[in-house]
Chain A
Amino acid sequence: MARASHEGGFAGRGPLAGRRAADEEDASYLRLGKDFSRAKCLMNADVALILERKREIMEAKGQAPKSDFIKAYKYVNQVKQFREKHVVVQVRKELEAFGLEPFEVAQLGNLCPETAAEAKALIPSLENMEGRMLDNAQLTELLQQLAANKQFST
């Protein structure tokens, strides 16, 4: 994979090595750093579901949520594009079936762009990554599916 070899290139020793690697993080080329290569990317709607459950548990225990939790909770509920659980699950399935990277799945699901051009402008990695079969027609179709689900759940 392209990314693996890239990281190898920066694995030199010396005080600057770690720092340079951090500077090289760039979402438009899907360079997220080593720690996140195995991480799963969640959409805001996913996070909203998890935090909702967490809030219920905390409430049952009588714990007061922390300020960062409240901020995150408010934020995801304000910006999430899909509300119901089965919709979220379905959207994720459709996106993943497309052979997209997890990061792109999350970004598409969060931003819900309307056209292929918009999607590529917002998420440059859709265009930057070579060796992938992804033409505009397919992307448009995917975005239409997204839009349909979005209206359905609001």
Chain B
Amino acid sequence: MELTKELLLYPKHFGPNIRNLLREKLIYTVEGSCSGQHGFVVAVTDVVEIGKGRIREGGGLATFPIQYNAIVFRPFKGEVFDAIVTQVNKLGFFAQVGPLQVFVSKHMIPEDMVFDAQGALPAYVSQVSDQQPQRIAKDSEVRLRVIATRVDAAEIFAIGTIKDEYLGLLD
């Protein structure tokens, strides 16, 4: 998930060290940020080119176009992930795929899995088999499919399903 992107920066510190400064400022600004178009920027891998700065009219600020490569994480509809469950409640559960939070509603959990709030950790328990029951509780690893994403200005939120073949709890 690598990508080139252009970014504008406004440094006030002109000087011999400007390139390093720009580089650091770029990493500081974009890493951990998130846009609907490109997803989460996880890490900047390298700076391809720092263009010529343009001084803005009326002020002393300059704008530098910067091209860089970064690892981004962009969830797509239909993509399958292994996620870590973070929270379970009677409406469904939340799981985390790195920086992305995914909600799996009760309706997207197979019918044979029942919500159980009795134990120390609330969990969805499957009671079909006579063997060890399957429990989805906090910190379980589940394989889920993203069915939709909602994109805010600074956040991506996804809903997922485990109601399909080969999806569900992982050992």
Contacts and interface: CB of A to CB of B under 8 A. Distances in A.
Contacts of B99: 68, 71-72
Contacts of B165: 118, 121
B14 interface: no
Contacts of A75: 84, 96-98
A39 B43 CA distance: 15
Interface string B36-61: 01101011010000000000000000
Interface stretch (A40-48, A82-90, A91-99, A138-146): A40-48
Nearest to B40: A68
A118 B71 contact: no
Interface stretch (B73-81, B108-116, B119-127, B129-137): B73-81
Contacts of A32: 76
A2 to B, nearest CB: 17
Nearest to B42: A72
Interface in A1-51: 25-29, 32, 35-36, 38-42, 47, 50-51
Contacts of B71: 42, 47, 50
Nearest to B97: A75
B166 A78 contact: no
B77 A35 contact: no
Interface residues of B, number: 36
A109 B23 CA distance: 32
Contacts of A39: 1-3, 72
Most buried by B among A27, A47, A75, A121: A75
A60 B85 CA distance: 33
Given A40-B1, A42-B1, A72 B98 contact: yes
Contacts of B141: 78-79
A41 B1 contact: yes
B66 to A, nearest CB: 17
A27 B146 CA distance: 10
B42 A68 contact: yes
Contact of B45 (A28, A50, A66, A118): A50
A27 B75 CA distance: 9
A27 to B, nearest CB: 4
B3 A27 contact: no
B137 to A, nearest CB: 16
Contact of A40 (B2, B80, B145): B2
A90 to B, nearest CB: 20
A110 interface: yes
Contacts of A129: none
A71 B74 contact: no
B35 to A, nearest CB: 10
The 5 A-B pairs of least Cβ separation, nearest first, read A27-B78, A75-B98, A27-B76, A68-B32, A28-B78
